[in-house]
Structure 1
């Protein structure tokens, strides 16, 4: 491998590298790839709105006998931009979650992430997030799976799911901002960040992502879908992402990483894992 090859900064095995979409230790600029990611995530709220407001794709569901919810009465907030969407309060919450996830991830890709992002990875990650957002949206629209089958608003699933979503997405964002500020200081070059939210879990950003994904699914498809999606991401992070990132940190930071693991017992979610 050439001396100027950025992959030389990643001491992990090739197997671990193949499981990671991020090139650790590589800071090669990839403006086009990041622009693709930005646009893919920015387009998602428009897709979710088309599903929620106009029933995009529900015609296919009706053809196979799947019943969907009626549109419901539009919300009246007194804010023309919001009221002009003509969505019911519950649907507004789901759309807000799509917008929030897109904004959070685009803040990350433009301001917080220093690693390169290849175009194919940008498309894959963008599509992955859109699929899970759409899963929650369609689960809400389908009568058999919707979390909104009660007349009262807000429903328990909305309250609990909303709390998980806000807690998770803010945890992920704040943790990444804290780490970025630490890494931006030249005095901290080559050091591992162990302060802020990271003192509560070694991969607290992944834990935050797991929480808000579970909350989003809970708001759309109820307790069953929320538990299923939360379990999926918990499994993926604990079995794939955390081990491959831990290998990188162990080999790059050596004793500092060992000390961090001794001080911070939890990997993803404080008090849980």
Structure 2
């Protein structure tokens, strides 16, 4: 782990407070652990699956839709009689995402994570999860009513293709994001790698492959709930946010810290997120 001087930390904080570069929200280079920030993050992320359970299975979601003047439906019946119905799949995604985020803050994260930022990011994820749950319960938007349907061998159950594709996309994105972070963490922990950029593993594919993984699983979550249109809208929103804020801030930080190394890496790996695309 590289040492960061108090002056560097002060300059980073001042730049953030003044609204100048870097534009990233992360406290890059500040490796102090915030107990309050960690506790806030874990607590709020743990609440998320519980809320989704009540929205999807205890009628909260339908009640919210009714209050908004929107129709709602009960998911069940012969078409989805399996235990692994659409509600269970979406709830499983919420639990998986929350568990991964707790693992990230406790094991993988190095940067300072204050309570305010922890609350912001947790609220961001909660908003997307809740939106997905409400979409799934809305007959006008739910993927349950969209085709084609794919039969599950050995059962009388079939699932909409968007639900299955969204689940696959969620799994691929989850593995990509977490595996990339684990690979970089292991590299950084070795004393001989101090002051070096990790360019192996999944990081050979794109400069910010972890962000690409996040976009994939987030998009898959929405695809499973509401199909292609809400999925595309969410991915475009995240793409704009990453390219306009997070990646720009990271690039400024890496240029200051690693200079020539970072320049060479960007030359060798020209894609920011998805190989061959962007």
Task: Give yes or no for TM over 0.5.
Answer: yes
Give the Cα–Cα distance (whole angstroms) in 1 for the partners of residues 133 and 47 of structure 2: 15
In the alignment, what sits opposite 1:254? Answer: 259
Kindly state the Cα deviation for residue 266 of structure 1 after the two structures are TM-superposed: 0.6
- CA change 1:16–1:213 in 2 (3 A) is farther
Give me the whole-angstrom Cα distance separating, in 1, the residues matched to 2:67 and 2:33. Answer: 47
Partner of residue 231 from structure 1, selected from 229, 236, 246? 236
1:39 pairs, out of 31, 40, 43, with: 43
Partner in structure 2 of residue 23 of structure 1? 27
Which portions of structure 1, spanning 4 or more consecutive aligned residues, are displaced by more than 3 angstroms? Answer: 8-19, 73-77
Q: Is residue 89 of structure 2 the alignment partner of residue 93 of structure 1?
A: yes
For residues 102 and 122 of structure 1, what CA distance do their matches in structure 2 show? 13
Gaps of 5+ in 1: 78-87
Structure 2 CA distance for partners of 1:64 and 1:202, relative to 1, 3 Å:
closer
After superposition, the CA RMSD in angstroms is 2.1
Q: 1:35 and 1:61 mapped to 2: Cα distance?
A: 32
Where does the alignment leave 5 or more consecutive residues of structure 2 unmatched?
A: 150-157
TM-score, structure 2 as length reference: 0.88
Mapping for residues 163-174 of structure 1, pairs under 5 Å: 163-174=168-179
Write the distance in 2 (CA, Å) between the matches of 1:247 and 1:217: 31
What is the aligned partner in structure 2 of residue 113 from structure 1? 109
Q: Where do residues 197-208 of structure 1 align in structure 2 (5 Å cutoff)? A: 197-208=202-213
2:66 maps to what in 1?
62
Q: Displacement, 1:76?
A: 5.2
Distance of 2:75 and 2:123 partners within structure 1 = 26
Is the CA contact 2:21–2:252 (under 8 Å) kept in the aligned structure 1?
no
